[in-house]
Structure 1
């Protein structure tokens, strides 16, 4: 499972590196709240505390996996419905990545507390979120909205949301745990690598956007 504000119209993102989304895409979306995709995103958000309780309270890993699977399915479905029903919205463009990040961070913390994943993995991915948080503050300070989520970030999120149920299964005993472990860790490693790479591209986009703005200002002064 983005400006018409600020100086973005005069500051195109440099074309070096992978293709980057237009800054204005998200701002062009309508101001809708009551849509089916938004309802699914809210449902995913409400599933976070339920998932954490299942994982850290009674340790009902089976039901926790079900919650994660439902979250992954609704993440895919809300995007499809937004396109099929023409129900894209600014709120949805914010809720969808927010729910993804909240699930990833909360799951990582819970799995670390259960000693299913190493602390360094949690530090890497949580550190990535902190860096992106700083980038969002920088964009806001210069009058820009958040940039569109890079396709690598979406792919990484999907891999991690598939990896986490596998890690829970691999933490058990028996044949199923033995079979799940290599697949779960492969998804975790690839998902983490792509998640960090997407963050690098995001930082490059922000730096390029601000550099182009600064260059445009200098040109106007001359």
Structure 2
């Protein structure tokens, strides 16, 4: 709002160039006031408008102005101010429209970006689902069933030996040995019966069988405690390594259910040659030690020599897995 400069009331004698009688009469006739009343009227008019900027340095300089001219001048100033107000409003509206357009553009960009990100996430989830389905395999094969039956039979064989029924224990051990031979032969002869899960299930069942037999034989004093400790420690070491390999090879997400899902195969184990020899030596040692009370050759020197041989091959097999750890297992990756 432009400031209004209030009219100055100048007190001069009429004889010194003040309003002549005709002008005073005219103003009095138009406004109905005269003298100081006329200036007060102009002051009230300026204060009422509030938008007029008129400066009278001397009332004598504008003595010939009448009220009509003053009103025209005031109206022109008001019109000019109104036009500037409209221009300012239009300028402000343009800025607001521009900001609104930029906001809408940014909003649309963010919406499109979110939609694109959601689409990419959905595609990634679909790829993961397909990947998991491709990695699954059928574990209900004949070799795997024989392996699982041997694992279930192992604790019972140990229980029979602890009860002193060595003949039945020997018979069950022969059955377990036959299942161990059959599952490998079937998997090699018929590729449709082979599975990557079997590469882990078979050694796990062997470890369970060996552990149950050596502990029960040690309890029955048919095998020395030091050999039992070596065999059990080696098996526990390999079992722990298998759990670590499973965790390393499992792709994200690493959930508890996926970790123990046997159909989701992520790695394949390849036993070393020394480990295969050690498995045969251990089975022979356990069978011969179990037959000692049946055929009466307990504490025979050859039996003691077989125990030491078994201990050496067991330690060598454990070391072979450590030395050749890069070749003993293979992580199965997604096919591309």
Q: Would you call these one fold, judging by a TM-score over 0.5?
A: yes
1:146-188 deviations in whole A, cap 9, x for unaligned? Answer: 642112212211221122121122135xxx3239945554444
Instruction: State the match for 1:76 in structure 2.
Output: 181
Distance 1:121 1:179, change over 3 A: closer
Tell me the CA shift for residue 102 of structure 1: 0.5
Specify the alignment match of 1:156 in structure 2.
278
- Give the 3-state SS of the residue equivalent to 2:297 in structure 1: helix
Q: 1:112 to 1:204 in 2, by over 3 A?
A: same
For the aligned residue pairs, the C-alpha RMSD in angstroms reads 2.7
* TM-score, L = length of structure 2: 0.47
Contact 2:204–2:239 (CA under 8 A) maintained in structure 1: no
Greater length-normalized contact order (CA 8 Å, ≥ 6 residues apart): 1
Q: Unmatched 5+ residue regions in structure 1?
A: 1-28, 210-222
Any idea what SS the aligned residue of 1:55 has? helix
Q: How does 1:79-118 map to 2 (within 5 A)?
A: 79-86=184-191, 87-118=193-224
How far apart are residue 68 of structure 1 and its match? 0.8
Whether 2:241 is the aligned partner of 1:135: answer yes
Cα shift at 1:101: 0.6
**SS of alignment partner, residue 171 of structure 1:** helix
For residue 139 of structure 2, the aligned residue among 24, 28, 33 is 33
More deviation, 62-71/155-164: 155-164
Larger Rg: 2
- 1:64, CA displacement in angstroms? 0.3
Secondary structure at 1:32's aligned position in 2?
A: coil
Secondary structure class of the residue paired with 1:98: helix
Separation of aligned partners in 1, 2:288 and 2:276:
19
Q: Mind listing any 5+ residue stretches in structure 2 that lack a counterpart?
A: 1-134, 251-266, 328-336
What is residue 214 of structure 1 aligned with on the other side? none
* 1:56 corresponds to: 162
Matched, 1:42 2:148: yes
Q: How does the TM-score come out when normalised to structure 1?
A: 0.69
CA distance in 2 between partners of 1:77 and 1:123 (Å) = 29
Distance 1:33 1:134, change over 3 A: closer
